Amino acid sequence: MRYSFHPEAQMEFRLAIDYYEEREKTLGYQFATEVYAAIERTTAHPGM
The per-residue pLDDT for range 4-33, each reduced to its tens digit, is 999 999 999 999 999 999 999 999 999 999
Long-range pairs for 5-9 at CB < 8 Å and ≥24 separation? none
Please provide residue 14's backbone torsions phi and psi, each rounded to the nearest 5 degrees.
-65, -40
Residue positions counted in the chain = 48
pLDDT recorded at residue 18: 98
Per-residue model confidence (pLDDT) at position 3: 87
Please state the pTM of the whole predicted model.
0.84
Question: Domain ranges in the chain?
Answer: 7-43
Check if the beta carbon of residue 1 is closer than 8 Å to that of residue 46: yes
From CA 16, how far away is CA 11, in angstroms rounded?
A: 9
